[in-house]
Amino acid sequence: MSKGTLRVLPLGGLGEIGKNMMVLEYDGSIVVVDTGLRFPTAEMLGIDLVLPDFGYLRERAQDIEAIVITHGHEDHLGALPWVLRELRREAHELPPVYGRRLTVAMARSKLDEHKLKDVELVDVAPGDEIAAGPFDLELIHMTHSIPDACAVAITCELGTVLMTGDYKFDQTPVDGEPADVQRLAELGREGLLLLCGDSTNADRPGFSPSERVVGPHLQEVFARAEGRIVVTSFASNIHRVQQVVDAAAALDRKVALVGRSMRKNVGIGRSLGLLDVPDGILIQPQEVEDWPDDRVVVISTGSQGEPLSALRRMAHNDHRQIKLHAGDTVVFSATPIPGNERAVNETVDRLFQIGCEVVTTADAPIHASGHGFQEEIKLMLNLTRPRYVMPVHGDHKRIHLHAQLAEAVGIEPEHIFRARNGLPVEIDERGARFGDAVQAGMIFVDGVDIGDPADVALRDRHALSADGIFIVVATISAHDGTTVAETEVIFRGVPFVEQAQKLKDEIRDEVDRSLARAARDGIHEVDVLQEELHADLGAFVYDRLRRRPMVLPVVVEV
């Protein structure tokens, strides 16, 4: 019998940084690798989170054999509660979720928050084999900026696909466990069908520095600081938190954890034995003011300038417990994710305005990327020697550069697939090719609900943010449509209106004229009157202000 077709479908993470999600389909069965999210950009007003469009999975919910999460970062794990909540509506039974120890603990914490307590979460050790329909799954230990990161080998009759997840080849990791290079090489010798490799740092030459070099440099920065020290980093970077705690302990400083995700992840790390925190070193955020400035280190969320993060609130003097002042040193032990540069720069500028000393990676080597540079990408390609390559986890530029690296190490150009979200690669005994594209955009989380980004609410929010809103309430006679009470005019967010009362009077006059015309024309239906008022007032306000605020006319019949 001839073998079937393996379909490798990216739903997120290609042509962008974040919301990584990959679907592998064979013989009618599906395995999903990662369910990530990304954070909204400035123009996504009021949106809390951005998820991959997983409508394709909703329609195939009964066919999903397993979900595998490579590590605990939000761009690989964060969408899991929403994905499972939607799948539950379509499937009688949710698929099991596999991952390593820390990843599973973080997933359980997220699902508990969403009251999804009946999901089967399976802690898998590297090397263990998992049967999932026609697939055999294996997790392979990798080094990254979070413990328990892994690659996933997915094997079917046609061969093995390797999803690298996020990785670097750190020879001296903080936990002493370098990537399993031997197993990667074995996959190469056995014959790897397809490599889906991380492209995040495909634009950076050489090798990435080891995480272990960060600790001594942090201690040097701490030793120079005379006042309080605030360190911001990714809350999930357990190794970085460990090095900050070690540096604080060496200089006899207390440590306060600020930010909900920071406290939660440190608690998970300690419970799993991944963090060693000396007894008595931790203090509560509200106790910071009780200690001398030179005895305190604060570890905070907010390294990406997130609007509601602890550091952002501190920078704007809006944090309930920590008030920054001149003499404080703020250490950014992270680099901005592409797209977050503006928010980070705004936070840094505000810190300087307060009088803080700010230390970034431009001033000292206080951060090491968790993603391999070009030489590590080449090393992965040479170790695994794949027949086909699909660069993933990167914008179009980085995917293009990753493809060039694959060509440089000898992969045939026609075997390298520069894909995009929704465009599958289909592999069978005859070879590999692009298949038919499916819908793969993004969906938004606004509060607790998810919805289509084309929702009119986003367009309305843009209009409101730019030009404000006018609300006009007109009261007319049900008998003849004439005005019977003074029109009420309310406006909010309309910029540069210095003569507000005069403008209101002019708008009332325009309302009276518009309603009088409608009465003469015999127009009495409220809906039609409101449309007429909207058109007349919109033109009138633009003529006066050269702006187009939202105009909401309300007509009341009495």
Distance CA 421, CA 434 (A): 12
Whether 118 is catalytic: no
Per DSSP, helices labelled H in 302-428 are 310-315, 341-354, 374-384, 396-408
DSSP 8-class letter at 426: E
Among candidate residues 437, 412, 411, 413, the one with its CA nearest the CA of residue 423: 437
What's 307-322 look like in SS3?
CCCHHHHHHCCCCCCC
452 belongs to the catalytic site:
no
Residue among 53, 148, 166, 198 flagged as catalytic: 198
User: What are residue 500's phi and psi, to 5 degrees?
Assistant: -60, -45
Q: Write the DSSP assignment of 483-549 as a string of letters.
A: B-SPPEEEEES-TT---HHHHHHHHHHHHHHHHHHHHHTT---HHHHHHHHHHHHHHHHHHHHS---
| CA neighbours closer than 13 Å in the CB half-sphere of residue 30 | 20
Alpha-carbon span 154 to 312, nearest angstrom: 41
Name the token pair of 186. 């074995």
Q: How many CB atoms lie within 10 A of CB 251?
A: 14
Conformational region of residue 477, where left means phi above 0, alpha means psi within -120 to 50, and beta covers everything else: beta
Q: How far apart are CA 434 and CA 549, in angstroms?
A: 46
Neighbouring C-alpha atoms within 13 Å toward the C-beta of 98: 26
Q: Which of 71, 73, 217, 371 is catalytic?
A: 371
For 331, what's the count of Cα atoms within 13 Å in the CB-facing half-sphere?
Answer: 29
Catalytic sites, residue numbers: 198, 371
